[in-house]
Each structure stands twice: as C-alpha cells, then as structure tokens.
Amino acid sequence: MALIQLSEINYRVADKTILTDIDLQVNDGEIITIVGPNGSGKSTLLNIALGLLQPTQGSVNRQKGLRVGYVPQSINRDYTLPLSVFEFISLTKHKVKRDVIHQLLDDLSLSALKFSLLSRLSGGELRRVLFARALLNRPQLLVLDEPTAGIDINGQARFYQQLNALRERYQFAVLMVSHDLHFVMATTDRVICLNHHICCSGVPAQIVNNPSYMALFGEAHAPTLVDEIVPEIAPEIAFYQHQHDHEHDEQGHHCQQSHQTASGTGSDDKIDKGISDATD
C-alpha cells in the first residue's frame, strides 16, 4: 500500500532548478534511502514529501490520516533553556502516557539521560532523543534527514542496529537521506540516487554497479569497515557485497525506476515541525 506518492515533481527557487521530474512512491513497511552529492536536492525532496514545501509543479498524495515521525538534520538548541530530555520528549500536542515515553527512552538507550539537560547532550545523544520523540505517535512512516551526520563509525553501526530493531517492533516504513553508503546497502530495501533528478533507483544489488551511481560515487567495492566496528555489533551488521553476474547498457537500464500510481487519498495536513528550505 502506498503511503506517499510523488508524481512529476519539479521545484525551482527563482531561476534555479532544484528538482526535475521526480516520481517516488513510499510503500507500507519498506525502507527507502536517498543518496546523492551535496546540493542535489535530497532534503528538498523530503520537505516536499512531508508537506513542508510545495512543489513548483507536480502532485503529492498522502494516505488519509497518515502518521509521520520526522527527525531533522539538526535543530537549534537554546543553551540557556533548562529543559531535560524527558521534558523535551513530553512536549507534544497530545497527551502521551509516561510509560510510553519511558519505553522509548529504554528502546533507544536513553533512560540514564532522561533528567539530563538537552543543552548538555552530545550530537549522537541528541539524535537519539529526536528519534524517540519522532516515534511517540507510533508513525506509519519515519522520515530521517542525515540521521548519523557527525557520528563516528561505531555510533553509525549502533544507530542502524536500533533502527532495524525498532522498525521490526513498531512496523513503520522509513524514508531516509544518508551518506553512509556501506550501511545503506546493508539495511535498505530500495536506493534512490538523486542529482536534481532520479539518476537510478532499485534494490542495492542493482544500484552499486549502475553507471549513473558509479559516476557519482566511483567503483563499487566490497566494504572493508567491519574490523572497525565494535566487536559486539559487528556480527549483527550484515554488510552488503554485490556479486555482479549481469550486464548493464550504457544508460544503466537494468536499474528499474518506480512509476506506480498510488491509490491513497491525498492529505494536505502539514507536519508540525519548522525547518529551513535547504536544497541539499
């Protein structure tokens, strides 16, 4: 079932074209990861999918009553505000039971930090707090914008481990922007390679040797980072290694692109989160 359907999306700012002819469908329960160079329109595409930006052309249809959780790339912290982790997560439009908050804190290894000031958290800790807050309304779709930016390799491994465990427990779909190519290929169902337009899309086995992907990111290698992961996590991260036993034409047509039509009813409800109109 389609949760969100974007059709023929174009987005321009003044005379600058950010996105061209984007077709994207997010289905129930799947993980889709958008990759691409800086300034390629990745965050803009997320904002349009969320309803935070309106496309210059094209249509966005969302399943009626769709519940969305959103973790932005960054937030501005007021370092003078004495707000604890528990208090921050509790700041919602609708009343949430305390045991639900405690469970999420436990799920994300944040219980020991619940009375810590938000201003004192590290970057990785703050990301986990935002993650917990995004899960409060039991979303059908979780949207993540560079969720591991600025986090070391061990922290990245732990994040993707937690993401997989929570997705399995709470049964949500994921739409994510990421630069963590090794982890993306191990944990995603579908990869979309974006450079103002969709260069190619498909399962990781199709993408890594696609000419369009290789033009942006270079030759595909078997990842060699496993020895750098902390021992207790390494066995649980199944790194992807592609066995190339087929051919692509020079346009990379083996990489399939989705043009399905969503049947869900559109919804114009905005996500309750203000963010900048970034074009990355």
DSSP letter for each residue of 186-216: HH-SEEEEESSSEEEEE-HHHHTT-HHHHHH
143 and 116 co-located in one domain: no
127 and 196 co-located in one domain: no
131 and 179 co-located in one domain: no
At residue 220, the pLDDT reads 52
Domain count, the chain: 2
198 and 223 co-located in one domain: yes
30: left (phi over 0), alpha (psi -120 to 50) or beta: beta
129 and 46 co-located in one domain: no
Which of 91, 108, 137 terminates a domain? The answer is 137
Q: Tokens 């002819």 map to which residue?
A: 21
**CB crowding 23-39: b at 16 or more within 10 Å, else e:** bbbbbeebbbbbbbeee
131 and 142 co-located in one domain: no
- Asked if residue 237 belongs to a domain, the reply is yes
User: Among the listed ranges 17-31, 119-133, 236-250, which one has the minimum average pLDDT value?
Assistant: 236-250
114 and 183 co-located in one domain: no
Tokens coding 28 = 């129930």
What's the mean pLDDT in 163-190?
89
- Asked if residue 63 belongs to a domain, the reply is yes
144 and 128 co-located in one domain: no
155 and 115 co-located in one domain: no
- Asked if residue 253 belongs to a domain, the reply is no
Backbone angles phi, psi at 89, to 5 degrees: -65, -30
- Asked if residue 23 belongs to a domain, the reply is yes
215-264 tens-digit pLDDT: 888 865 434 343 444 455 454 444 333 333 433 333 333 344 443 333 33
- Asked if residue 92 belongs to a domain, the reply is yes
Instruction: Give, to the nearest 10 degrees, the angle between helix 153-170 and helix 98-107.
Output: 140
146-163 tens-digit pLDDT: 988 878 888 888 888 889
- Domain of 84 in residue numbering reads as 80-137
Task: Write the CATH number for 32.
Answer: 3.40.50.300
Per DSSP, 269 falls in state: P
Which of 90, 114, 137 terminates a domain? The answer is 137
146 and 231 co-located in one domain: yes
Which of 137, 161, 183 terminates a domain? The answer is 137
Residue 68, pLDDT above cutoff 90: yes
- Asked if residue 280 belongs to a domain, the reply is no
146 and 230 co-located in one domain: yes
Cα-based torsion angle of the residue sequence 129, 134, 135, 137 in order, rounded to the nearest 10 degrees: 130
Helix (H, G, I), strand (E, B) or coil at 227: helix
At residue 219, the pLDDT reads 67
- Asked if residue 272 belongs to a domain, the reply is no
Of 228 and 110, the one with more pLDDT: 110
- Mean of pLDDT over the chain: 80
At residue 105, the pLDDT reads 93
Helix (H, G, I), strand (E, B) or coil at 220: coil
Cα–Cα distances (Å) from 182 to 40, 157, 231, in that order, read 20, 10, 17
Q: What percent of the chain has pLDDT over 70?
A: 78
205-228 tens-digit pLDDT: 888 889 998 888 886 543 434 344
Helix (H, G, I), strand (E, B) or coil at 95: coil
